[in-house]
Structure 1
Amino acid sequence: MKTISVLAMLFAAAAMPALAQAADIDWTKVDAALGKSAVVSGDVHRYGLPRSDLKVTLDGVAIKPALALGGWVAFAPMGGEATVMGDLVLLDTEITPVMTSLLDGGLDITAIHNHILRASPATFYMHVGGHGDPVKMAAVIRSALAASETPFDPPTTGAAPTPAIDLDTAKLDEIMGVKGTAVGGVYQFGVPRRDPSVEMGMKVTGPLGGANAINFQPTGNGKAAITGDFLVTGDEVNPLIRTLRANDIEVTAIHSHMLDEQPRMFFIHFWANDDALKLARGVRAALEKTAIAKS
């Protein structure tokens, strides 16, 4: 018993410095370096970077930032420092200068791609990653985004009130099987997978971009524009996209967001503008082709 107690004490002593370092992250300094306040979910600090400056239209729909222009970065403590993951919304002319600044600052680029088609102006999505001092990484991200028009100023006082969600949200919740959230005039659903993927020894959860994201923007008379992304394994890709097409939902992109996650995951983006309840049924049928968490 004495040997076990000594080993336990030695293990605890070895583990304490890393735990203390993680706990000692001064998140107020990260906030200051990035010029934003975080939404905190457990250990994850997520910062919204919506492109509210852009006026993007698609098939006659004025895209709200919460529908398809919601950039973000999220930090999670790891090994006494932090891991960062994120998705930056950029115009084509902003991609190279932002990328160059991020790379010069020691961060990694893990993907660049479209999410939607036919949008005017065209928008692209740059996924970033890194591990290190969270304050330094936040400063690099802030500096890099200075090469874009990404807004950092807080909303002006007296801004227009958030539009109401002109949809039967209770029925949408029932069909989708999860409770949605109204954000910026858009009704959003986050549907986690049953078993999150793992990258660098850390589970990639919803706040880090590891969940199915389904967004509904009302377009009048019970209709909605929908977009977002499904998070699937390779064997789930074609069953899911066949179901989307069978329900008249356009598949707009299939790609990766990360580099080393296990199991390997693919993100499927989509678009439709039709009766909201009909689209919800199609989305739910597609989700059933994947290993989602069941309540």
Structure 2
Amino acid sequence: MTWIAGPVFAMSFAAGVHAQAIDWQKVDDAFGRKPAVTDDVHRYGFPRSDLSVTLDGVAIKPALALGGWIALKPAHGGAMVMGDLVLLESEINPVMLKLIEGGLEITAVHNHLLRASPATFYMHVGGHGDPAKMAAAIRDALGASKTPLATPAAAGPPPAIDLDTAQLDQIVGAKGQANGGVWQFNVPRRDAVRENDMVMAPAGPLGVAIAINFQPTGGGKAAITGDFVLTADEVNPVINALRGNGIEVTALHSHMLDEQPRLFFMHFWAVDDALKLARGLRAALDRTASVKG
């Protein structure tokens, strides 16, 4: 991850002290929105609500697979930033050039889905430095795309989740939560993930937890997607578990550059009976060193 400002130091410090030093209002103003705050991580959503993406006849909700985000965590000399921007093919290079000009680092560009129309791509970014300056640079870069940048309107009543969510929680072995009509799980790995001597916690907001999303499609069925966060020895056992349960593997790649242990992100897709799919996902989870109930 690029260090935009300040020398490199070992990051053994009390994060709370640094959190107090950051003027988060300036970051909010630069992004033009409020974050979801978990512990010392501020996560800003940039969903592609402007896009109408379909895959296998399913109209994809932003929370299922189009939820771009940026997260900042206090670090020595300012903050570390990481995130995942959802882009159309024509937007990749304009956004990348702006990020480079702003001193940010590109850590991955790739697909997460197959056969989607229009095709979407995902640009992972990282950096370290002054949080407000990085936020302004990222927002400027997003301006080279059609990502909605206006302050989000107040949300109305959340869409109903027409699934047996209690049963899904029991099968998956984790507590899900509703987000924009999608039932979402974040399953952290048992061992800490570090980057630049910094523990990547909390795992979910920083994108290093296994993410599983269910979007109801009617009649107890659902479209599922997300990504498994894996060490090298887990990759093929998880592939075999997913494929053996009728779940398509749509991508396998890295999202970061310097993390320890080295991690691989495996994206998946299926549309079927939700409970059947949950059992298949649990079979794959059981082949990972993750925290499950």
Instruction: Tell me which interval the TM-score lies in, with the shorter structure as reference length.
Output: over 0.9
Q: Does 2:132 correspond to 1:151?
A: no
Between the aligned partners of 2:235 and 2:107, the Cα distance in structure 1 is 20
Aligned equivalent of 2:23, options 22, 26, 31? 26
Aligned equivalent of 2:95, options 93, 98, 103? 98
SS where residue 126 of structure 1 aligns?
Answer: strand
Asked if structure 2 preserves the Cα contact closer than 8 Å seen for 1:33 and 1:135, the reply is yes
With 145-154 and 230-239 compared, the bigger mean Cα shift is at: 145-154
Aligned equivalent of 1:183, options 179, 193, 199? 179
Q: Which residue pairs with 1:4 in the alignment?
A: none
Query: Over alpha carbons, which structure has the higher Rg?
Result: 1
Taking a change above 3 Å as real, the CA distance of residues 236 and 17 of structure 1, as seen in their structure-2 partners, is: closer
Q: Does 2:282 correspond to 1:287?
A: no
Between the aligned partners of 1:142 and 1:59, the Cα distance in structure 2 is 32
Between the aligned partners of 1:18 and 1:274, the Cα distance in structure 2 is 43
Q: Which residue pairs with 1:247 in the alignment?
A: 245
Asked if structure 2 preserves the Cα contact closer than 8 Å seen for 1:116 and 1:253, the reply is yes
Between the aligned partners of 1:54 and 1:29, the Cα distance in structure 2 is 29
State TM-score, norm by structure 2: 0.92
Q: Does 2:264 correspond to 1:266?
A: yes
Taking a change above 3 Å as real, the CA distance of residues 269 and 173 of structure 1, as seen in their structure-2 partners, is: same
Asked if structure 2 preserves the Cα contact closer than 8 Å seen for 1:196 and 1:210, the reply is no
Q: Which residue pairs with 2:41 in the alignment?
A: 44
Aligned equivalent of 2:219, options 209, 218, 221? 221
Amino acid at match of 1:217: Q
Aligned equivalent of 1:139, options 131, 136, 139? 136
Between the aligned partners of 1:24 and 1:166, the Cα distance in structure 2 is 44
Between the aligned partners of 1:255 and 1:212, the Cα distance in structure 2 is 14
Deviation at 1:17, TM superposition (A): 11
Q: Which residue pairs with 2:3 in the alignment?
A: none
Between the aligned partners of 1:227 and 1:20, the Cα distance in structure 2 is 37
Q: Does 2:197 correspond to 1:198?
A: no
Asked if structure 1 preserves the Cα contact closer than 8 Å seen for 2:79 and 2:128, the reply is yes
SS where residue 254 of structure 1 aligns?
Answer: strand
Name the count of aligned residue pairs: 280
Between the aligned partners of 2:22 and 2:227, the Cα distance in structure 1 is 32
Per-residue displacement from partner, 1:175-199 (whole Å, max 9, x unpaired)? 0111110100000001110013110
Between the aligned partners of 1:18 and 1:188, the Cα distance in structure 2 is 28
Q: How does 1:44-193 map to 2 (within 5 A)?
A: 44-156=41-153, 161-193=157-189
Deviation at 1:263, TM superposition (A): 0.7
SS where residue 260 of structure 2 aligns?
Answer: coil
Unaligned residue ranges in structure 2 (runs of 5+): 1-11
Between the aligned partners of 1:278 and 1:269, the Cα distance in structure 2 is 18
Between the aligned partners of 2:16 and 2:48, the Cα distance in structure 1 is 36
Asked if structure 2 preserves the Cα contact closer than 8 Å seen for 1:194 and 1:294, the reply is no
Q: Quote the RMSD (CA, aligned, Å).
A: 1.7
Between the aligned partners of 2:16 and 2:270, the Cα distance in structure 1 is 46
Question: Any runs of at least 4 consecutive aligned residues in structure 1 with deviations exceeding 3 A, and if so which?
Answer: 15-22, 154-157
Per-residue displacement from partner, 1:238-262 (whole Å, max 9, x unpaired)? 0000000000000000000000111
State TM-score, norm by structure 1: 0.91
Unaligned residue ranges in structure 1 (runs of 5+): 1-14
Taking a change above 3 Å as real, the CA distance of residues 129 and 61 of structure 1, as seen in their structure-2 partners, is: same
Between the aligned partners of 1:244 and 1:17, the Cα distance in structure 2 is 40
Taking a change above 3 Å as real, the CA distance of residues 29 and 223 of structure 1, as seen in their structure-2 partners, is: same
Per-residue displacement from partner, 1:38-87 (whole Å, max 9, x unpaired)? 11111100001100000000000000000000000000001131000000
Identity percentage of aligned residues: 70
Taking a change above 3 Å as real, the CA distance of residues 16 and 194 of structure 1, as seen in their structure-2 partners, is: closer
Deviation at 1:154, TM superposition (A): 3.5
